Amino acid sequence: MKLGVPKETLAGERRVALVPDTVAKLVKEGHAVVVEPGAGVAAGFTDEAYRTAGASLGDPWAAEVVCKVQKPSQAEAGKLRDGAALVGLFQAATNPDLMQQLAGRRVTTFSLERLPRITRAQSMDVLSSQASAAGYKAVLLAAETVPKFFPMLVTAAGTLSPARVLVLGAGVAGLQAIATARRLGAIVSGFDVRAAVKEQVESLGAKFLAMEEQVQAEGAGGYAKELSADQHQRELEFLARNVKDADVVITTAAIPGKRAPVLVTRAAVEAMRPGSVIVDLAAETGGNCELTQAGTPVVHQGVTILGPVNLPATLPLHASQMYARNVATFLAHIVKDGKLQLDFADEITKATCVTHDGKVLTS
């Protein structure tokens, strides 16, 4: 099968859907890979590296399956051949016009953020691999911004106490943030409404913060579910008491298909010490902090609130390597004997396929 790899055109996007190592494996399996010139340069992968891996350089949009990171523009979608397949992160539920355009060209579209969290899909889970990059980078941003060292230091000028880091949400991004902050020497606490993650938080050397009345908020697939109004109010009050003592707060909480829950209110921010830092990884879906502005740093009463967007793209080499492995595994699931073979009884295929046979399949 002919696979195409375009250069990403979204502002700030430096990742590439397939890297040379993955291309070499796909070519060995019998696929032909066409890479747009310069597609991997921003991630550290030269055109020559792709040639060496067995790819050709040319127009990727004529391929049978086009692999991307971000959703295509309207113009890019128009370049796809009728009946082609498209694989990437397209946020299908919030881009209905794009889905209609792709369906109109009879494109079979796979939106990988919809992968179910089941054992068979773990090696395809692009959200988890990219969240790991985001959690790591969030701590580095915090360490760069907070006006103190992370580790305890004993110096000739006296002993400096370590930074106190609070991580809200113990999914993949949160656990990576906890691990990274611990490596940098901070005193770390973690909070999550899912009691099941307590052991994971503690295994990384952090303290798990548990509410006096623990709520049960684990939904389908291991994700957090939305709390009732009363539960959420108790959660806010509990978090406010802990946020005020933190030098750094990193928030990662998300609810699939919904706005990110507000966990840090304006009042909680105003109770923090000047110089404290909040890094809100949920900025793109509304933010976990009431004052977050996506992509724009905010300073409120001496507290800096960062709402970074697309953090994995700031670590493009490793993020691309992980993403490419996920995509290659997914391709092996949907391509058999050089042809696209779809089994809609399979939960992975059913969940990810959002346009097919001229129809939009998103619910």
Q: Is 117 a catalytic residue?
A: yes
Candidate list 21, 81, 101, 223, residue with the active-site label: 223
Q: Is 346 a catalytic residue?
A: no
Candidate list 128, 176, 200, 320, residue with the active-site label: 128
Q: Is 321 a catalytic residue?
A: no
Candidate list 122, 203, 214, 341, residue with the active-site label: 122
Candidate list 70, 111, 114, 125, residue with the active-site label: 125
Q: Is 323 a catalytic residue?
A: no
Q: Is 125 a catalytic residue?
A: yes
- Helix/strand/coil (H, E, C) string of the chain? CEEEECCCCCCCCCCCCCCHHHHHHHHHCCCEEEECCCCCHHHCCCHHHHHHHCCEECCHHHCCEEECCCCCCHHHHCCCCCCCEEEECCCHHHCHHHHHHHHHCCCEEEEHHHCCCCHHHHHHCHHHHHHHHHHHHHHHHHHHHCCCCCCCEEECCEEECCCEEEEECCCHHHHHHHHHHHHCCCEEEEECCCHHHHHHHHHCCCEEECCCCCCCCECHHHCECCCCHHHHHHHHHHHHHHHCCCCEEEECCCCCCCCCCCCECHHHHHCCCCCCEEEECCHHHCCCECCCECCECEEECCEEEECCCCHHHHCHHHHHHHHHHHHHHHHHHHEECCEECCCCCCHHHHHHEEEECCEECCC
Candidate list 51, 81, 106, 117, residue with the active-site label: 117
Active site members? 117, 122, 125, 128, 223
